[in-house]
Amino acid sequence: MSKDDIILEEATSGEYKYGFTTNIEQDIAEIGLNEDVVRFISAKKNEPQWLLDYRLKAFAIWQKMDEPNWAHVKYSKPDFQRISYYASSKEKKKLNSLDEADPELLRTYEKLGIPIEEQKMLAGVAVDFVMDSESVFTSFKKQLAEVGIIFMSISEAVQEHPELVKKFMGTVIPPRDNFYAALNSAVFSDGSFVYIPKGVRCPMELSTYFRINAENTGQFERTLIIAEEDSYVSYLEGCTAPQRDENQLHAAIVELIAMDRAEIKYSTVQNWYPGDKNGKGGIFNFVTKRGLCQGVSSKISWTQVETGSAVTWKYPSCILKGDHSIGEFYSVAVTNNYQQADTGTKMIHIGKNTRSRIVSKGISAGHSENSYRGLVQINKTAENAYNFSQCDSMLMGETCGAHTFPYLEIKNKTAKVEHEATTSKIGEDQLFYCNQRGLGDEEAVHLIVNGFCKEVFKELPMEFAVEAQKLLEISLEGSVG
């Protein structure tokens, strides 16, 4: 074994640090999926008739759909009749401060290394915890309410602001969009709802930490963010999940809507359990995320750092409908061991003078497969549209794969579209240079990988950027060779 191989070996043997289970009594729906389960979920959440109808319609659509298999991933398909579609913590009392929270929960956060008070103080972050399917804790709600921002779980929003939910839900991602979107529309459990009124700049970064907790419980989060004219919001989503042997399914929907001159920045750090080093277990992450730049000069920016999940299937997209609107996608995807990721974006240009920018960095190690799949579509109406895409892949080891599948569809002659991609490994000369200056192999690799990803990290909010770098180090621990 050469030195490189040893480093690789070490790196790839880094175990998932966040694998633990919290014991909280759960209210779990019967295993399996049929119309009654959909009705059960809806009734449990005390939903109005229109939402039940929406769910049932989506369920009917889902039943007629086939699971997609075009992605460059291989996995044994989940048995949808062996999943429980509803799990929520039993105790539901409202909390005023962290002291009232379940100590078990607090311990969980501690293990994750995210002291919540500290975060609250340091960053002014309002944290909306989603423990399994239902939000049990919402903070800073009052402060936000003062400026008219609505930030709550979507099931609360259904009760308190049904007109908004009804108006916007499903407009960006209709149930028939794809197999998992239909499934989510039928059985979605909970998620976040954000409404930024006209002219308001959200005073803090909004944040949700997702955790998957109950065994055999699929998570079907649904997030809806609406930014009215001239508003701004930055939203953070972060995930870690306890260690499980059986594959768990996560099929979320995130919908963003930006009106005239509004801007939404959506950042994700995803660190779900990727399975052990033999590829056993791990989360299936089949997420549909899409933003609609509805208004003139609106902007939606996606930033993601993907280090977890056994199988990732995720394409945060932008529909650039308003003239002069902007879409951005920054991504770092790291795969190790037997992880598989097929991720990328879609930029649909409809309005005039629309611009989009794609920066994707893929790092594969071990036996993993990492694919970028992206679509840039310039429609006839999109005069003077501009796109720039850059997809770089880094390979560590001989047994992994890195792939690029970009689709460019251009129907307007005034469009300017540029795409470039490279694939390479860490150069021996680069390593040697660092060694010369006294850095060990591992440090050198961290340095180089961090430099490789810097373009994306700098798009993340401060606190997240630190966490992302830490995650990257853990994912490729001792390893990044």
Partner 1 sequence: MIAIKNKYTEAFEKLKKSENSAEAHALKRFQKMGIPNRKSEVYKYSNLKHFKNLTPSTEGRIPHKLPEYFTHQYLLDKHLLVTVNGVFAESLSSYEGDEDGIHISCMCDARKEFRDIVESHYNETSTEYPDAFSEMNTAFAQCGIFIYATKNAQAKKPIVMLHLGYNQPKDSLTCQRNLIVLEQNSEVELIEDYVNIDKEEAFNINHFSEYFIKQDARLKVNIYQEDSNQVHFIGNKFFELGKGSNLKVTTLNFQGEFIRNNFRVNLNGEHGEATLNGIFINGDKDHTDSRILIKHNAPNCESFQTFKGILDDQSTGVFNGKVFVAEGAQKTNAFQSNKNILLSEEATINTKPELEIYADDVKCSHGATCGQLDENAIFYAQTRGIPREKAKKLIVFAFAQEVIQDIDNELFKNFMERRLVHNLDLAEYSTHGSVQSGIKE
Residues of this chain that bind partner 1 (CB under 8 A): 70, 72, 378, 380, 393, 395-425
Of 323 and 392, CB closest to partner 1 = 392
Distances (CA, A) of 202 to 255, 361, 402: 18, 30, 39
Least CB distance to partner 1 at residue 397 (A): 6
CB of 410 to partner 1, least distance (A): 5
Q: What DSSP string runs through 181-208?
A: HHHHHHH----EEEEE-TTPBPSS-EEE
Question: At its nearest, how many Å lie between partner 1 and the CB of residue 412?
Answer: 7
For 92, 256, 301, 408, the CA distances from 379, given in Å and listed in that order, are 49, 21, 21, 11
Per the CB < 8 A criterion, the answer to whether 194 and 233 are in contact is yes
* C-beta of 20 vs 407, nearer to partner 1: 407
**Nearer residue to partner 1 within complex by CB, 174 or 406:** 406
Cα 256 to Cα 186: distance, rounded to the nearest angstrom:
19
| CB 398, min distance to partner 1, A | 6
Q: Which is nearer to partner 1, 243 or 423 (CB)?
A: 423
Here the tokens at position 281 are: 């277990």
Q: Report the distance separating Cα 237 and Cα 394, nearest Å.
A: 25
Cβ-based nearer residue to partner 1, 50 or 407 = 407
Contact 33, 220 (CB under 8 A): no
Cβ-based burial of 422 (10 A; exposed 0-12, middle 13-18, buried ≥19): exposed
**Residue type present at position 105:** L
**Least separation, in Å, of the C-beta of 373 and partner 1?**
9
Strands 87-89 and 26-28: antiparallel
Q: How far is the CB of 48 from partner 1 (least distance, A)?
A: 39
Nearer to partner 1, 88 or 335 (CB): 335
